């Protein structure tokens, strides 16, 4: 059985649910829920919002508790925020500086989220309890969804 997300279907559902909505937190809450429940690989799905220069704070999420605060200098989420690039981590134990918010996490994908002006507003963090759970196809599809919802360019 293929348990991978049908990103075309997910994109259509998200577009219908978010049509006309402009509040970033409402959009993040809707995406966290829809993305999290779309794929069995996704163990924790959520946003870390840029709340001040160089600092991410927990936003809407699905799953167990996340870290409350992440500086741009730390972890996979910080690397995505700092570099503006998608972070695909096949083995979190091999990522120098990984922040272990949950001991069950084996792999992770983190995507920058930008607004229409290209300003970083958050990162989308998806953790999996499976090693090597994510690939370039996930990054591309999720980036496209984020770009369409938040008005930013899709970063890959």
* Residues 92, 70: Cα–Cα separation, whole Å: 16
Task: Tell me which residue of 127, 150, 139 sits closest to 86, measured CA to CA.
Answer: 139
Give the pLDDT mean for 64-78.
Answer: 92
Q: Minimum mean pLDDT among 37-41, 103-107, 110-114: which range?
A: 103-107
Q: Is the pLDDT of residue 100 over 80?
A: no
Q: Is the pLDDT of residue 36 over 90?
A: yes
pTM of the model: 0.91
Question: Please, where are the H alpha helices in 37-135?
Answer: 75-83
Q: What is the pLDDT, as a whole number, of residue 46? A: 97
Beta-bridge partners for 125: 46, 110
More confident call, 91 vs 114: 114
Q: Minimum mean pLDDT among 63-67, 77-81, 121-125, 152-156: which range?
A: 152-156
Confidence band, pLDDT 50/70/90 cuts, at residue 98: low
Tokens representing residue 27 in the block: 């959009």
Q: What is the pLDDT, as a whole number, of residue 2? A: 54
Q: What is the pLDDT, as a whole number, of residue 113? A: 96
* Superfamily of domain 7-150 in the CATH hierarchy: GAF domain (3.30.450.40)
- Cβ neighbours of residue 98 closer than 8 Å, sequence gap 6 or more: 75, 76, 89, 92
Please report, for the chain, the start and end positions of each structural domain, with discontinuous segments joined by +: 7-150
SS3 75: helix
């Amino acid at each position: 059985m293929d348990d991978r997300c049908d990103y075309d279907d997910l994109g259509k559902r998200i577009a219908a649910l978010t049509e006309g909505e402009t509040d970033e937190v409402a959009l993040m809450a809707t995406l966290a829920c829809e993305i999290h429940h779309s794929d069995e690989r996704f163990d924790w799905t959520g946003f870390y919002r840029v709340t001040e220069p160089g600092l991410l704070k927990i936003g809407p999420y699905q799953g167990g508790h996340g870290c409350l605060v992440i500086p741009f200098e730390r972890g996979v989420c910080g690397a995505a925020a700092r570099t503006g690039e998608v972070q695909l981590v096949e083995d979190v134990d091999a990522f120098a500086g990984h922040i272990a918010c949950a001991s069950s996490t084996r792999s992770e994908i983190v995507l920058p989220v930008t607004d229409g002006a290209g300003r970083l507003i958050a990162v989308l963090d998806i953790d999996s309890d499976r090693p090597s759970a994510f690939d370039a196809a996930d990054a591309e599809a999720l980036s496209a969804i984020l770009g369409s919802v938040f008005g930013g360019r899709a970063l890959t």
